[in-house]
């Protein structure tokens, strides 16, 4: 019997432990994976916040040998992945624990890829390029936004070419995500805003993606509700653990949605921007969001209507163009409320940068699932509107 497989959907996820104190089971999971020696991947900021020391102590308490690698930049670089892989091999490690935001987590995925598959990290750009299984990954996120702890994405910067490469493979879905809202309490308001808006963009892009389906829609819609209801208050009250938990749950759900439905033009263009100008990922998304919604709206009106309603807009009696304007205004207001109302030019981008930014964006895998097909001029116009 011939069946159309284009409607089939798969859903991958790590084992997830969610809630305050989840990080405390790190040693237990490392033992379960038969840890001989653990490579702990983090960065200097997370170390200064005290989380590396705590995880290290938890491993020591269970007599699990480990070595820390924290030479990871805000946008993790290819040479940092290769340096981490060398340390993993020199110390004969067999389990990786990542503690931190998207940068250490993506770097840890890269280290795992290189150690198991042998070539340079930049050789694995693209979709399903990883052929050998990578070492066990136990991830403890300390931000609520990137969702590298649940996703099949790893984003690595190539500073020579000034691009970010996307690696998409179920091989990089972590084995265990210990998602503990207490770890996000050390984020400052700017980072809380950037990561929260990143998570909101994950949810919106996953919902309007051409790869969306019933397995991802429920997570995407829950994520939108949780983030829009809590992110503004959280930025005002960053120590509120209830708000931290709500936004982290939203981020996790957005991560499950986008990991499986993939993303769209906001992320393709944000990856290009972040690689070229070394800017925070969430800020890049925030700058571009309403302009990409404007571009995409006509190709996914029904989906965007649901997005608008989920974001709290009463659509009854409104026509399509009124809903579009209301959604745009809602997004712009939310960005202003969390302090992310910058433009591209505020971050050193000029009109002459736009052709090369557009070339890079069109090569990013996230552009493939954008609801509206786009050519170079389309992408240039969106960048110009965000300038
Ligand atoms: Fe993102």
* Tens digits of residue pLDDT in 263-279: 999 999 999 999 999 89
What is the pLDDT, as a whole number, of residue 7?
Answer: 77
Distance 370 CA to ligand 1 centre (A): 14
Q: Report d(CA 42, CA 347) in Å as an integer.
A: 27
- Mean model confidence pLDDT for the chain: 96
Distance 107 CA to ligand 1 centre (A): 15
**pLDDT tens digits for range 334-356:** 999 999 999 999 999 999 999 99
Helices (H) and strands (E) in the chain, counts: 14, 9
Mean pLDDT within 66-93:
97
Q: Report d(CA 111, CA 117) in Å as an integer.
A: 10
What is the pLDDT, as a whole number, of residue 204?
Answer: 98
Mean pLDDT within 6-15:
89
Which residues lie below 8 Å from residue 57, measured CB to CB, with a gap of 6+?
none
Distance 253 CA to ligand 1 centre (A): 13
Distance 148 CA to ligand 1 centre (A): 9
What is the pLDDT, as a whole number, of residue 2?
Answer: 64
Taking every pair of C-alpha atoms in the chain, what is the biggest distance, in angstroms?
A: 66
Whether residue 6 is predicted with pLDDT greater than 80 in this model: the reply is: no
Position 1 confidence tier, pLDDT thresholds 50, 70, 90: low
What is the pLDDT, as a whole number, of residue 217?
Answer: 98
Distance 203 CA to ligand 1 centre (A): 10
Position 105 confidence tier, pLDDT thresholds 50, 70, 90: very high
Mean pLDDT within 125-139:
96
Q: Report d(CA 345, CA 157) in Å as an integer.
A: 22
What is the pLDDT, as a whole number, of residue 216?
Answer: 97
Positions of E strands within 289-378: none
Distance 147 CA to ligand 1 centre (A): 8
Which residues lie below 8 Å from residue 160, measured CB to CB, with a gap of 6+?
none
Mean pLDDT within 137-145:
95
Q: Report d(CA 33, CA 31) in Å as an integer.
A: 5
What is the pLDDT, as a whole number, of residue 138?
Answer: 98
Distance 115 CA to ligand 1 centre (A): 25
What is the pLDDT, as a whole number, of residue 9?
Answer: 85
Distance 347 CA to ligand 1 centre (A): 18
Write down the pTM of the prediction.
0.95
What is the pLDDT, as a whole number, of residue 36?
Answer: 96
Residue owning tokens 């002459």: 352
What is the pLDDT, as a whole number, of residue 201?
Answer: 98
75, two tokens: 């946008």
Q: Report d(CA 199, CA 223) in Å as an integer.
A: 8
Position 56 confidence tier, pLDDT thresholds 50, 70, 90: very high
Query: 126 - beta bridge partners?
Result: 167
């Amino acid at each position: 019997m011939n069946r159309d497989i284009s409607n089939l959907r798969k859903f991958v996820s790590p084992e997830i432990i969610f809630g305050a104190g989840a990080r405390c089971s790190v040693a237990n999971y490392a033992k379960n994976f038969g840890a001989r020696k653990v490579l702990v991947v983090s960065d200097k900021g997370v170390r200064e916040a005290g989380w590396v020391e705590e995880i290290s102590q938890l491993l020591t308490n269970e007599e699990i040998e480990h070595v820390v690698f924290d030479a990871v930049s805000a946008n993790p670089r290819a040479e940092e992945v290769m340096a981490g892989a060398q340390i993993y091999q020199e110390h004969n490690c067999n389990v990786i624990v990542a503690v931190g935001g998207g940068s250490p987590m993506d770097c840890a995925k890269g280290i795992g890829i290189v150690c198991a598959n042998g070539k340079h990290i930049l050789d694995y750009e693209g979709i399903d390029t990883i052929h050998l299984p990578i070492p066990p990954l136990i991830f403890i996120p300390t931000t609520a936004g990137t969702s590298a702890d649940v996703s099949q994405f790893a984003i690595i910067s190539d500073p020579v070419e000034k691009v970010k490469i996307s690696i998409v493979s179920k091989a990089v879905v972590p084995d265990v995500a210990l998602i503990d809202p207490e770890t996000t309490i050390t984020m400052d308001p700017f980072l809380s805003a950037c990561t929260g808006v990143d998570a909101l963009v994950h949810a919106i892009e996953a919902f309007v993606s051409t790869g969306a389906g019933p397995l991802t829609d429920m997570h995407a819609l829950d994520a939108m509700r949780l983030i829009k209801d809590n992110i503004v208050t959280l930025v005002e009250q960053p120590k509120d653990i209830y708000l931290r938990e709500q936004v982290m749950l939203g981020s996790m759900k957005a991560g499950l949605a986008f990991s499986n439905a993939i993303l769209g033009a906001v992320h393709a263009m944000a990856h290009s921007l972040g690689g070229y100008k070394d800017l925070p990922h969430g800020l890049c998304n925030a700058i571009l969001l309403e302009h990409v919604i404007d571009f995409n709206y006509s190709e996914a009106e029904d989906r965007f209507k649901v997005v608008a309603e989920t974001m709290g807009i009463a659509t009854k009696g409104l026509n399509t163009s009124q809903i579009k304007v209301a959604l745009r205004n809602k997004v712009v207001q939310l960005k202003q409320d969390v302090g992310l109302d910058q433009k591209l030019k505020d971050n050193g981008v000029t009109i002459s940068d736009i052709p090369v930014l557009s070339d890079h964006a069109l090569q990013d895998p996230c552009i493939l699932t954008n609801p509206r097909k786009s050519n170079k001029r389309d992408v240039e116009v969106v960048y110009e509107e965000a300038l």
